[in-house]
Amino acid sequence: MRGVIYRLCACSLALFAGLCGTASAGTVQDDLKSKQGVTVTVGAEMRMTPSYEGSSKFDWMPLPLFDIRPMGTAPRFHSPRDGFGISVYENGKLTMGPVMYLEFARRSKNNVALHGLEDVKTAVELGGFAEYWFYDWLRGHTEVRHGYIGHHGTVVDVALDVVVPVRQSLTVSVGPRARYGDSSANSRYFDISPSESAASGYPVYNAKEGFRSVGAGTQVIKQWSPQWATHAFIEYDHLVGTAASSPLVTQQGTPHQLTVGAGFAYSFDIPSSK
């Protein structure tokens, strides 16, 4: 497990993202001003994810879920790769707003492959997202984030999702993903300093700016009733560029990064008092 810090940060971000609708169903202002009221969704998710980027070992991590939307509207589509975003601007098929993302800490004592390397602190990235529904079934999602805690680099995430309602209660999505980082952001996980080289036996290495990973993801959402829903997903990332060439990946890790997860959500209505 990545420890208590993950659960605390996840809970805090879930509260921050309480109005985290990043689809085209309305902005924060629309949600709060809905004349009928709002529908609140709470839930939980369990993920199996690499212990750190480039790792061949996995951790299990819990994640709380929270969303709010105008009463009477359909549930919003969220990809497991989306950051914690708040919709503040909507114009037809385009939605934009601020976004927050966590890159979790890496502890040398937790993995033999990291012995001799310095710990990597949890990073908090802030930025903005833009989402565009080209068709009712095709969503484009882009996030540009800058590190303010843990690193001071810039990361760009790009994703495309084909969202297909197989039937009224079952939705399947699938699409490609890519992540780009500048030298500061990529160095966070993949650099090896001279002192770390001497202590660990890895050669000195300096990751450069460029694409960090490419991949794809798929998700299945089952709506059992207006109140209850479950989902499951698989996300695959293949490390590329100087990230994939890091000795951490080539000697003790793997470029194949797999995340799987499943969760549930419960929705309830809060009628407007107006």
- Residues pairing with 71 in the sheet: none
- Is-contact 179 159, C-beta < 8 A? no
HEC string of 119-152 equals CECCEEEEEEEEEEEEECCEEEEEEEEEEEECCC
Provide the pairing of β-strand 210-223 with 228-239: antiparallel
- Is-contact 116 108, C-beta < 8 A? yes
Q: Percent of the chain having pLDDT more than 70? A: 87
Indicate the range of 11-20, 21-30, 180-189, 222-231 predicted with least confidence.
Answer: 11-20
Model pLDDT for residues 154-171, shown as the tens digit of each residue: 999 999 999 999 988 999
- Residue 44's nearest CA partner among 213, 220, 263 is 263
The distance between the two most distant Cα atoms of the chain, rounded to a whole number of Å, is: 68
CA–CA dist 239, 59 (Å, integer): 19
- Residues pairing with 48 in the sheet: 60, 260
Q: Is the pLDDT of residue 56 over 50?
A: yes
- Is-contact 259 234, C-beta < 8 A? yes
- Residue 26's nearest CA partner among 82, 71, 66 is 71
Q: Is the pLDDT of residue 119 over 60?
A: yes
Q: Which helix (H) or strand (E) holds 37?
A: strand 37-50
Indicate the range of 84-88, 118-122, 220-224 predicted with least confidence.
Answer: 84-88
- Under the banding of pLDDT at 50, 70 and 90, the label for residue 48 is very high
Q: Is the pLDDT of residue 142 over 60?
A: yes
- Residue 232's nearest CA partner among 222, 243, 242, 224 is 222
Q: Is the pLDDT of residue 71 over 90?
A: no
| C-alpha count within 13 angstroms, C-beta hemisphere, residue 16 | 15
Rounded to 5 degrees, what are φ and ψ at 143? -130, 135
Provide the pairing of β-strand 228-239 with 256-271: antiparallel
List of domains in the chain: 4-271 (2.40.160.40)
Higher pLDDT, 183 or 8: 183
The whole model's pTM is what? 0.83
CA–CA dist 212, 45 (Å, integer): 26
Distances (CA, A) of 169 to 203, 219, 224: 53, 14, 7
